[in-house]
Amino acid sequence: MAGRIALVTGGASGIGRASCARLRKDGYRLAVLDLDGEAAASVAGADGLGLAADVGDEASVAAAVERVVAELGRIDLLFNNAGITGSPAATRCHETPVEEWDRVLATNLRGPFLLSHAVLPVMLRQGGGHVINLVSIAGMVASLGRCAYSASKGGALMLTKSIAADYAADGIRCNAVCPGWVHTPMTAWRLDDPELGPRATRTIPMGRVARPEEIAEAVAMLAAESLTYVTGLALVVDGGLTSTIVI
Ligand SMILES: NC(=O)c1ccc[n+]([C@@H]2O[C@H](COP(=O)([O-])OP(=O)(O)OC[C@H]3O[C@@H](n4cnc5c(N)ncnc54)[C@H](O)[C@@H]3O)[C@@H](O)[C@H]2O)c1
């Protein structure tokens, strides 16, 4: 795997950060794109590239991808990981501020689209590549009071299948990783709460949430390029959460 280049969005924190460490172990050089450019540069390391950009901003994304190609030469793996949940308050559809819908969709769905839109021509020129989208089980079953998040992740899952189908003949694969609960800065406020935390873990057959490193393992397995016939997959990593109903 030596010499391969991975572009990771949202790599400054949580699952993205753990995945960068894991991919580096497998020999990937990293381009890390995040709102927090300083943290991105520190995760990318001396032989990598840190980029400060908003995944929802077309011009910034195009400039960032151009820079990766100019400085690192190619992009073998695009890992669309950056994401937000929206406001901590649970709201049903009619109570969800339109601004919140736009903000969540801009990061979680427009983001992976813009990155793929900019990177796929690079992969076509190279004759191959792999796009991995960090989705969520919320893209497969609705997360209560989170219509914007669920819709954005459902959209990202269909974007995955769409890219998988449209580029299969070009040697470009696209797969999704769908975690359940993971303890990261995104979820710590809830999982560390003495009431809300146990309420979340009670529904998980394994009885615990995942560590970011456990999601990074799933990303690394796909990124290892040994599953050469796998494309359009939604790899669920949820401790059994969506395998059962709580009764
Ligand atoms: N934590 C969970 O339980 C969980 C479960 C399923 C899916 N996910 C998904 O995993 C991904 C990573 O989440 P995490 O838990 O590691 O969160 P996190 O908040 O720890 O990290 C997210 C990173 O994305 C960056 N980011 C956010 N918006 C951005 C934007 N517009 N442009 C560029 N960078 C941006 C942040 O700066 C941060 O570094 C997200 O897509 C999230 O929806 C998380």
Question: How confident is the model at residue 32, as a pLDDT?
Answer: 98
For residues 66-71, give the mean pLDDT: 98
| Other beta carbons less than 10 A from residue 185's beta carbon | 11
* Residue 167 annotated to the active site: no
Question: Distance, CA 110 to ligand 1 centroid (Å)?
Answer: 14
Query: Considering only the top CATH level, what class is 5-238?
Result: alpha beta
Whether 247 has a pLDDT exceeding 80, the answer reads: no
Segment 41-67 mean pLDDT: 98
Amino acid at 108: N
Model pLDDT for residues 122-144, shown as the tens digit of each residue: 999 999 999 999 999 999 999 99
Angle value at C-alpha 202, between 196 and 208, nearest 5 degrees: 95
Question: Ligand 1: residues within 6 Å at CB?
Answer: 9-10, 12-16, 34-36, 54-56, 81-84, 107, 134, 136, 179, 181-182, 184-187
Across 149-169, average pLDDT: 98
**Burial class of residue 195 (count of CB atoms within 10 Å of its CB; 0-12, 13-18, 19+):** exposed
CB count within 10 Å of CB 121 equals 11
Mutation to probe ligand 1, out of 184, 191, 201, 214 (largest number of atoms < 8 A from CB): 184
Complete DSSP assignment for 133-164: EE--GGGTSPPTTBHHHHHHHHHHHHHHHHHH
Confidence of residue 156 (pLDDT cuts 50, 70, 90): very high
Residue 237 β-bridge partners: 179
Q: Would you say residue 1 has pLDDT above 70?
A: no
Whole-number pLDDT of residue 246: 74
Q: What is the mean pLDDT of the chain?
A: 97
Domain positions in the chain are 5-238
173-194 pLDDT per residue, tens: 999 999 999 999 999 999 999 9
Average pLDDT of span 70-95: 96
